[in-house]
Homo-oligomer: A and B are copies of this chain.
């Protein structure tokens, strides 16, 4: 890794471990094992470094293949994505940023977060639209709304798991969502 990548990686780790406000340029240099000359050769300061670090994290997430777009019927893919392993007490690297007051007030940083959510919500909406079209979910479901509901279950699951310091609340929130989807599915199945 070159010093630029080392600095970006160190900033991503520190954003995650300490938050934006509590991370100083000095912390980043120490973690990266890189000196001040190199730091200010590559970056004007903490803000520019955060933009690059957060962009790298969200680009990596957006590039991962999502079960929402994989094999199986739309409802099966939705349930598989919900049920994929998520370490609840670690939290979401992107979602966490929305609770960092300095990040939310920074138009450039929060736009990176918003764009990452939009990508994920677009995948949800597509799968839900297909599930309704296939008669797996009732026509009363509005895909753009349910997309936000199910993304919120995951994000809120992290909040509940971190409050307790346990994985249990995340898993329970997911199982409850899957059970509701199954119940909604059986409502269509009965109508037919």
Contact = CB atoms under 8 A, between A and B. Distances in A.
Contact of A155 (B21, B138, B155, B164): B155
A149 B176 CA distance: 6
A134 interface: no
A48 interface: no
B163 A159 contact: no
Copies in the complex: 2
Interface of A: 17-19, 21-22, 91, 95-96, 98-102, 104, 110, 113-114, 117, 121, 137-138, 140-142, 144-160, 162-165, 169, 172-177, 179-184, 186-188, 190-191
A157 B147 CA distance: 11
Contacts of A152: 152-157, 159-160, 173
Nearest to A18: B101
Contact of A145 (B19, B154, B176): B176
B149 A177 contact: yes
